[in-house]
Amino acid sequence: MLTLKQIEILVVMLMAVLVHKLSIAEPLNVWGNRDLPPMGYIENGVPKGFGVEITKAVLDEAGIEYKLTMAPWKQAYVQAKAGNGLVFGMYWTEERSKYFDYSIPLWEEEIVLVTKKGNDFSFEKIDDLKGRVIALQRGARPGTEFEKALDNKLFEAIEHDSPVKRLKILTLNRVDAVVSNPGLASVVWNSRLAGISISEFTILNKPLSVEAKHIGIAKTLNRRDLIQKINAAIGRLNKKGVIEAIIKRYEITK
């Protein structure tokens, strides 16, 4: 039987091991979309965009150590779904909610439909896309209604990572419309990158949808505690006006 002194020594040793493990714990992997300016992109090897700034501000406020990786959206999503960290800038859908715990909204944005000038059409509801060819980001699912229409093959989807290339194939009449977000800013930004005048495009009057962007973490990790810390941090930053100020710096007009 251990003496009281031996037990005390054992407890001290175990605590030392625990502290050591905590001190060398790896930062949390954080995945983001590199192909969605001005929300997220890479410039000279550095992650940029209002989504990047907001996410970093939230995680810093929450006291969470992290390693940020920007990747094609589908890769970022798959990594997070597999439990390899969290992902930011994700829409809520019924299907995704089976696999992810979500933060409260980081921000809301319009998802717009862009056509070539002169080829615009009336859009009031998702059924108006029936039989059309729509270009969108690979792996993107902007809302449950769109997700279901896509799964039911209401329209033909052409998926591509690059928003610049999606606009270029639109000018070549290979698709009827391009899904673009966040709103006007994304169209202006990417038309400039493509070297195409914004006047060559029409943004349909009615947005495809207005959706919130969230931070998500795989349910398999069972980290609701982390989501609670993130939610509290988002709340504090909203009260201070930090998130709104970041978004305003990226606002773009024609």
Q: Output the CA torsion sign for 230, 235, 239, 241.
A: positive
Determine the pLDDT at residue 25: 64
Determine the pLDDT at residue 143: 78
Q: Do residues 247 and 109 lie in contact, with contact meaning Cβ atoms separated by under 8 Å?
A: no
Give one word for 222, left, alpha or beta, with left for phi > 0 and alpha for psi -120 to 50: left
The low-confidence residues of the chain, meaning pLDDT below 70, are 1-25, 252-254
Topology (CATH) of 26-107+211-248? D-Maltodextrin-Binding Protein; domain 2 (3.40.190)
**Architecture of the domain delimited by 110-209:** 3-Layer(aba) Sandwich (3.40)
How much is the pTM?
Answer: 0.82
The CA radius of gyration of the chain, in Å to the nearest whole number, is 22
Determine the pLDDT at residue 16: 46
User: At CB < 8 A and 24+ separation, what contacts does 78-84 make?
Assistant: 79/29, 79/31, 80/31, 80/216, 80/217, 80/218, 81/218, 82/218, 83/218, 83/220, 83/221, 84/29, 84/31
Portions of the chain given CATH number 3.40.190.10: 26-107+211-248, 110-209
Strand order in the sheet with 35-36: 35-36, 40-43, 46-48
